[in-house]
Structure 1
Amino acid sequence: MSVDVPANSALTVRSTSVSGWTEALAEAAPNPGGGSAGAVVLGFAAALIEMVCGYSVGRGSDEEVAALAQDAAALRRTALRLVDEDGEASARLAAAYRSEPGPDRDRRIREESVRAAETCAEMASGAIAVLPGLARLADLANPALIADVVVAGDMLRTALATSRTNIGVDLGGL
């Protein structure tokens, strides 16, 4: 049995503006949802880290700062991919819940719950991977940018909390 996925499932973070994306997030639809929003926050954190690194070159530890900037750039790309993957996973999970009761529905719910949790686990892994570098960046950064370092840390914490919450919900009913 095939269940339609909502029309905005084709929405991608790269195909729309921030305004358009947040309008889609405000809709009563599974895509995008909270996991995708967490991935956007993760992408913003990575971008802030990159920005601070860019301003901090020439302050003594250029190789270390450059390596952190590369890690942050990779995380930003991963986060943008996860925005869309999480949205697609949420749409598939919602479609599974709307399907007719029976063993096929139960199997689909289990499979899609695990897939949805996997995107959040990857989000958490990415956030955890840059935390040591962010702590070091606090020492290396241009002092005028310490607020940006702190905000990036807060955003990483938010991405981790989002991941933890969604994984718990996605897998809690299995």
Structure 2
Amino acid sequence: MIEDTSLEVFLNELASKTPTPGGGSAAAIMGGMGAALVAMVCNLTINKKAYEAVDAEMRDILQRAEVLREQLTGMMRQDIEAFDRVMSAYGLPRETEAEKAVRSQAIQSALKDATEVPLACARASAEIIALSRVVAEKGNKNVVSDAGVAVVAAYAALKSSALSVRVNTGALSDVSFATQSITELDVILDGADTAMREIYQEVVHRL
């Protein structure tokens, strides 16, 4: 599976002429890296005498970050599978009216799946941004720069996955589903730019 692939192989595949893995998988791994770095800051804060007051909070964040990391790692594969379903649907025969109808329905169904995966990635990435704020403000000062990298990675994942949502909804005939997806995406994106800048500056201030 793609999540078990070495980094070198993954990057080679990402750079190749094949359409997958692509931007969706890259967004998922960026989000996963953000979650992993949040977990790292937590692990280096927990059981430290100077940070006893936030120990319980860091443990809670660590648990959530690890769940998000697992989810996002899985989204690398899910994005590839969703894109492959779209390509397979476009490849269906379209000689007769019946075939055209089947093909159209298959394309629309596949596009919905291809929209839901990056939307889930956007949700998870936004949560990582929120978690990175806490570890940036309260985590071990010696690794606060890693909290900064975490928020930048999660922000990149969020903005990248938003592109995938928009491109897929643009080809949907189900206007209600497309509108609902974009509306949710806009809610997720609202305030993300400001949050990223604030957290980044907090990190710089603590360096």
**Is the TM-score greater than 0.5?**
yes
Find the counterpart in structure 1 of residue 183 from structure 2: none
1:139 to 134, 137, 162: 137
TM-score for both structures, normalised by structure 1: 0.88
The CA deviation at 1:30 is 2.6
Asked if 2 retains the 8 angstrom alpha-carbon contact of 1:30 and 1:91, the reply is no
The number of equivalent residue pairs is: 163
Structure 2 CA distance, aligned partners of 1:123 and 1:132? Answer: 14
Find the counterpart in structure 1 of residue 72 from structure 2: 79
Find the counterpart in structure 2 of residue 155 from structure 1: 153
The CA deviation at 1:96 is 1.7
TM-score for both structures, normalised by structure 2: 0.75
Q: Does 1:18 align with 2:18?
A: no
2:37 to 24, 38, 48: 48
- Structure 2 segments unaligned to the other structure (5+ residues): 95-99, 173-207
Alignment of 1:92-103 (within 5 A): 92-101=85-94, 102-103=100-101
1:113 to 111, 114, 118: 111
Structure 1 CA distance, aligned partners of 2:13 and 2:84? Answer: 13
Asked if 2 retains the 8 angstrom alpha-carbon contact of 1:33 and 1:90, the reply is no
Find the counterpart in structure 2 of residue 67 from structure 1: 60
1:38 to 27, 31, 55: 27
Structure 2 CA distance, aligned partners of 1:70 and 1:80? Answer: 16
Structure 2 CA distance, aligned partners of 1:70 and 1:51? Answer: 11
**AA of the residue aligned to 1:162:** S
Deviation beyond 6 Å, 4+ runs, structure 1: none
- Structure 1 segments unaligned to the other structure (5+ residues): 1-10
Q: Which one has more relative contact order, counting CA pairs under 8 Å at least 6 apart?
A: 1
Structure 2 CA distance, aligned partners of 1:42 and 1:95? Answer: 28
Tell me which moved more, 42-51 or 137-146.
137-146
**AA of the residue aligned to 1:141:** G
Structure 2 CA distance, aligned partners of 1:27 and 1:154? Answer: 26
The CA deviation at 1:63 is 0.5
Give SS of 2:17's match.
coil
**AA of the residue aligned to 1:90:** F
Are residues 168 and 87 of structure 1, via their aligned partners in 2, closer, same or farther at CA, if it must alter by over 3 Å? same
Higher Rg: 2
RMSD of aligned alpha carbons? 1.3
Asked if 1 retains the 8 angstrom alpha-carbon contact of 2:82 and 2:110, the reply is yes
Q: Deviations over 1:25-44 (max 9, x none)?
A: 12222321110110011111
Give SS of 1:13's match.
helix
The CA deviation at 1:100 is 2.9
Q: Does 1:126 align with 2:124?
A: yes
Structure 1 CA distance, aligned partners of 2:128 and 2:36? Answer: 12
Q: Deviations over 1:46-80 (max 9, x none)?
A: 11111111111221210100111111100110011
